[in-house]
Chain A
Amino acid sequence: MAETHSLQDMRQQAAVAAKVFIQRDYSNGTMCQFQTKFPSELETKIDKQQFEETIRTLNNLYTEAEKLGSQSFVEGCLACLTAYAVFLCMETHYEKVLKRISKYIQEQNDKIYAPRGLLLTDPIERGLRVPSCMSLWLSRKGRTAGLDIGGFFTVTSDGG
């Protein structure tokens, strides 16, 4: 059963798992946002509300990372004055939020996705690249199915 698999095992199986790609949402520009549209392949696996909640929270986190506020302005100016040497000792705001995103995804996997045999992969691991399609691909063994947001999220499921 899915509960007995550790996340580590699931990650390894993700390589042979079916993947569903969740697309980037460009309606507001080139900011990193994902479509909240619920993939039909997940209908039997997870509650629609929960999935949309996850994606919405992630979108909010990415918005915060890329926000053009006073903090990013001050950080930019300070960095410029030091010829960007300050980034050798300090983490950028973006990196800090990326860490929060990783933690959040880990949390979501532990609480919601892993018990259902799904695995959400951190987008940064796969390149923050635009997925070109939504796809479901069953492995040779046919026992695992998964979601891969084309380089963004991999939600891998076990059994079925």
Chain B
Amino acid sequence: MSAVMITRKLRKWEKLPGKNTFCCDGRVMMARQKGIFYLTLFLIIGTCSLFFAFECPYLAVHLSPAIPVFAVLLFLFVIAMLLRTSFSDPGVLPRALPEEANFIEMEIEAANGSVPSGQRPPPRIRNVQINNQIVKLKYCYTCKIFRPPRASHCSICDNCVDRFDHHCPWVGNCVGKRNYRYFYLFTLTLSLLTIYIFAFNIVHVVMRSVDQGFLSTLKETPGTVLEVLVCFFTLWSMVGLTGFHTYLISLNQTTNEDIKGSWSGKNRGQNPYSHKNIVKNCCEVLCGPTYPSVLDRRGLMQEDSPTAANSEGPCSFDNLVAQTVKTTAPLIPNEHTPDDVKPSIAAEKSSAPKDDPPLAAKLPPLASPETDAETSIVKNQ
């Protein structure tokens, strides 16, 4: 063993549990699978490049220079919103420190009493009253916390996310409290950009065909065909998705709640989070406060020390906890069902028919946010 070990101070993101990837020394936070995100970027940048290369010169001269200018602004806004959605912390809730987890276990055990062996322990549920509505808080076996209202566990990222909407593979991240408005603006402006490019492609083809004939136009600007194809299919799914999220925002619901039917059917009108006023709901979601990230990604990890008396890092508690409290409550195994996802009903409600090429439809399944066997029993009652 070497006499001298130079240890680099670790930042907290390097030790965070969960299946996220971090870049730029913890500033960027994404899901592990980023392939579809790169595809999204490629499609947007590629289509816009073709537009700027083939259509814009003609339109700037024959119609107005404002057309490419506005297209550039819209394009930059779309990219900014996409990157903001993809790179930011969606509202991940940090896992319980060992001492907290143990206390919760003790409390649950005390509440449930002793369970005869062989019998399934009762589900871990806590009821809270929100605006005169009883809401069940579920226990997360992975994060060892009772989830706050509207939070849900994403099995793809393996984190509990506050105000969990869905996991979007197209942006390569979860959509939650902190990045929902950027996601919505992304879908909205991308719809506008798609419509814009599509419309001006048509205008360009028509105008040019009048002078040169249709076939010659296509020969001169071959990019047009590709753009029209991409835009046509993207348009329907993006406009549909934007419409769907506009509907959700006006009711102050998340995609997750909509899929589970928490506030629909016989529970309609009982959403305790809604202000019962469309304008107020929209204002809250889109113009509400910008919540800080509670994951201290770039903070420095405390030094490990054997006495563990001075440090607040989670590793320091392990020694102490082991000596104080031992729980006997049998922990029910992890609720994850890998990618056993519910179909993306949300996308199906509003998107084009299923024979679309995979480019256009938002059909990569939404992650099932939580698949806790216990809670589904409760839900079905």
Which residues on A are within 8 Å of B, measured CB to CB? 11-16, 19, 21, 24, 26-30, 65-68, 72-73, 75-77, 79-80, 83-85, 87, 92-95, 98, 124, 127-133, 135, 137, 139-140, 148, 150-151
Compute how far the CA of A92 lies from the CA of B292 in the bound complex, rounded to whole angstroms: 9
A129 touches B94 (CB 8 A): yes
Among B134-164, those with CB < 8 Å from A are 135, 137, 145-150, 163
Among B67-102, those with CB < 8 Å from A are 76-77, 80-81, 84, 93-94, 96, 99-100
Q: A residues within 8 A CB of B99?
A: 19, 137
A26 touches B312 (CB 8 A): no
Closest chain B CB from A126 CB (angstroms): 8
Closest chain B CB from A29 CB (angstroms): 6
Q: Is the interface of A mostly helix, strand, loop or mixed?
A: loop
**Known A-B contacts A15-B317, A94-B292; A27 and B129 likewise in contact (beta carbons under 8 Å):** yes
B280 touches A130 (CB 8 A): no
Contacts A/B (CB < 8 Å), 10 sampled = A15-B312, A15-B317, A16-B320, A21-B100, A24-B148, A30-B273, A83-B76, A132-B96, A133-B104, A137-B103
Compute how far the CA of A130 lies from the CA of B84 in the bound complex, rounded to whole angstroms: 26
B292 touches A66 (CB 8 A): no
A129 touches B145 (CB 8 A): yes
Q: B residues within 8 A CB of A129?
A: 93-94, 96, 145, 148, 294
Q: Does B16 contact A (CB under 8 A)?
A: no
Compute how far the CA of A19 lies from the CA of B77 in the bound complex, rounded to whole angstroms: 47
Closest chain A CB from B34 CB (angstroms): 22
Chain B residue nearest to A30 in the complex (CB): B149
B182 touches A133 (CB 8 A): no
Closest chain A CB from B199 CB (angstroms): 23
A21 touches B145 (CB 8 A): no
Among B288-316, those with CB < 8 Å from A are 288-292, 294-295, 308-312, 316
